[in-house]
Chain A
Amino acid sequence: MRMHSVFIRHIERLRRLVVAMGLSAEEGQDILQDVYVEAVKGPPKYRGDQDAARWLMRVTANRCLLEFRRRKRHSRAASEILQQWAELEKHSSGPEMQAIHAEEVEAMMQCLRKMDESLQLPLAMRYFCELNSSEIGEILELELGTVRKRLHKGRIILADVLLKRGIKL
């Protein structure tokens, strides 16, 4: 039951990781179902819940990578994203964001489609799953310096999309 409750507590974060890797809700639910069954069947022994949560993130990340390699990712249309974003903004209580333009979304989606998984995974964990660099290092079994380098490289690639296209900032 322990893994069941750890899974429930971390499901939002696991879901975010799947989403940020560009997989659809349907594919994501298949992945999480497999992760859940694997977890409940009996993962290796862990020292604590935090350790078990890291194991869940690692297994989910690995499953995402398998799908990531064989699926067409980030395949939604920019217009669909803008429409959904407008809906989300309507109900959001957070600070207002400057309007997003279709060309920016399209360019960014293209960049995400092409981006190497070794950069996209840490970016998703850091900027969407809200994990810090050392947690990411533990999950992906990478040195802290390597995680930081990958995060910086990923951020620079994303920023370059806007700079190269001369999109007005």
Chain B
Amino acid sequence: MKEHVCTVVSREKLVAYVDGELSPSETERIAEHIASCPECQVVTEALERSLQVTQAIWQTGEAQWPKTGSFDRIQSRKWSFRKVAAIAASILMMLGAGAVWRMLSRPTERAGISREQALAVEIKRKIADSGDAARLLAAAELLSKYPEAESTVKRRYRHIIEKYPETTAAAKARKKIQ
């Protein structure tokens, strides 16, 4: 902080004063001093103003979050790249080595998009879908331990079946609600 020349009240004491942490008698004493000390007036104003601006920055950050259903949204977020990458290997195995080999060895250009590009996009989509569905299923299974969450859990199973019908997680969800 710019050199605080006032020797009567320390800057830490001014922080405690603006935050209302002092006893009534001490608050009164500091208030009287500030009224007659231009140096402490400037510091007090800077302390208050800087906090206001910081809080405004935080509040606008908070406003960027979804307003409604934020919890559902948190639960249904996509898996992070790490988690998706971790399951990518097993999905590729499911798709079969033959398909991957064809993708790599028989390029065919069509309308600017080669066959391998199209297949790569399809694989990517399946990986993402399987990841999302598996994570949603895991969350629903965790919640299923609690009887109070029965309706929420069933809703989640139905969501998995409707949104990711081709995935293993959807097959498992179908068995759960049968």
> Is chain B's binding surface mostly helix, strand, loop or mixed?
helix
Query: With A20-B58, A81-B57, A104-B53 as given contacts, are A163 and B1 in contact (CB-CB < 8 Å)?
Result: yes
Given A74-B57, A152-B12, check contact A36 B149 (CB 8 Å). Answer: no
Contact of B65 (CB < 8 Å), options: A19, A33, A158, A163: A19
Task: Indicate with 1 or 0, residue by residue over A105-142, a CB within 8 angstroms of chain B CB atoms.
Answer: 10011001000000000011001100000000000000
- The verdict on B54 contacting chain A, using a C-beta distance below 8 Å, is yes
Does residue A66 face the partner (Cβ distance < 8 Å to B)? no
| Interface: B6 (CB within 8 A) | no
Q: Given A160-B2, A162-B46, A163-B1, are A29 and B74 neighbors across the interface (CB < 8 Å)?
A: yes
The answer to whether A11 and B53 touch (CB under 8 A), given A20-B58, A25-B65, A155-B47, is no
B77 near A24 (CB under 8 angstroms)? no
Size class of the contact patch on chain B = 35 or more
Knowing A85-B60, A100-B53, the reply to whether A11 touches B65 (Cβ < 8 A) is: no
A80 to B71, CA, bound (A): 26
- Give the A-binding residues of B (Cβ under 8 A): 1-2, 11-12, 15-16, 19, 42-43, 45-47, 49-66, 70-71, 73-75, 77, 80, 138-139, 142-143, 145-146, 148-149
Show 19 residue pairs from A and B whose CB-CB distance is below 8 angstroms, ordered by the A residue. Answer: A8-B71, A15-B65, A24-B64, A32-B74, A33-B74, A36-B75, A40-B143, A81-B60, A88-B59, A108-B54, A128-B55, A128-B58, A156-B47, A158-B50, A158-B51, A158-B54, A159-B1, A160-B2, A169-B46
